[in-house]
Structures are given as C-alpha cells and as structure tokens.
Amino acid sequence: MRILGIDPGLIKTGYGVIEAEDRSFRLLEAGVIRTSQKDGIQNRLLKIYANLIELAEEYHPSVLVIEKLYAHYKHPTTALLMGHARGVICLVSAEKKLRLVSYPSTRIKKAVTGRGHASKRQIGGMVKELLGLRTIPAPDDVADALAVAISHAYIEKV
C-alpha cells in the first residue's frame, strides 16, 4: 500500500510517501514544502496545494494521512493558520479521490515508538530505523510526516 503522510503547516508542510507491505517499509519520497509570509496566505496555500497535487499524481498513494488538529488555548492563531493548510490538504484528498485518515498525535507516536508522548528525537530515530535510513530525516516536519504514514500502516495492519 502506498501511503502519503503529511505534517501540515503554513510555513513548512512535511510530506512522506512510503510503500508498506507486511510490516516492512520503503521510502519513495520525502521533503518539505516551504512558504514565505511575504507571499500572502492565498499564494502560500496555492503552493502547498500544487505541490501535493504533483506528489499525488506522481506516486498514486491509496491513502492520505494527517495528524488531527490540536489547538492549545494559549495559541489560537496557530491552530487557525494550520487549519488553512489542513483545508488545502483535505481538498487535495477529495480532488484526487484519496481516502483521508487522521489520527491524534499520541496515537501516531504510540504506533511508531510505543510511547504516546515520545519526543521528536525518539520519533526521528524510529523513523530512521524503520525505513533503514543512514540519518534521521530533517527537518522534524519530514520525520513527523513519515511517522504519520508509518503509523497508518501499523494501525491498519498493512
């Protein structure tokens, strides 16, 4: 099964495409889509959209997986801005007829590391091991997106 995992963000949207079969994983593509505040919200969202459409067309994933939105009451603006990026991601899912799945961050961390409150370093380390990489994917947004994809394979028992 091909899985596109996404770590949504307006400044950096991490993505990772993996092939999962019998609890083994192969990395197909991973990276980050960067936007700049000076480009305005509409152009930033367009860039995220266009890049994700291109990924979907190139790799033909069967599912798109994202982390559920978590909003801390002290930072409501962050949640609102991330909501814009998530909306574009959902639109890509609908347009490309990809099943959309979302999991809470604690579920993703538990599936990948065995601990629901694992650190970024622990997540990156497990992603590195599970994908047989030489180094931990960087920046964290890439490792997080790959963790999202891997967690789906574990949760769905692919």
For residue 57, indicate whether it is catalytic.
Answer: no
Tens of pLDDT, residues 126-135: 999 999 999 9
Q: Which residues of the chain have pLDDT under 70?
A: 71-73
**Which of the residues 95, 141, 144, 156 is marked catalytic?**
141
**pTM for this prediction:** 0.95
Tens-place pLDDT, residues 8-18: 999 999 999 99
φ, ψ for residue 156 (rounded to 5)? -85, -5
Beta carbons of 137 and 127 less than 8 angstroms apart: yes
Name the domain count of the chain: 1
Q: At what angle do helices 105-113 and 140-156 cross, to 10 degrees?
A: 80
Tokens representing 146? 């790959």
Residue 40's domain comprises 2-156
- The question of whether 7 is a catalytic residue gets the answer yes
d(CA 103, CA 116): 12
140 is catalytic: no
Q: In angstroms, what is the C-alpha Rg of the chain? A: 15
Distance of alpha carbon 16 from its chain centroid, rounded?
A: 6
Q: What is the pLDDT of residue 79?
A: 78
pLDDT the model gives residue 68: 86
What element of type H or E holds 8?
Answer: none
Structure tokens at 57: 């067309």
Q: Which of 67, 129, 140, 156 is catalytic?
A: 67
Q: Exposed (0-12), middle (13-18) or buried (19+): which is 157, by Cβ within 10 Å?
A: exposed
What's the pLDDT at 158? 77
Per-residue pLDDT at 71: 67
The pLDDT value given to residue 33: 98
CATH of the domain at 125: 3.30.420.10
Q: Which member of 7, 29, 58, 95 is catalytic? A: 7
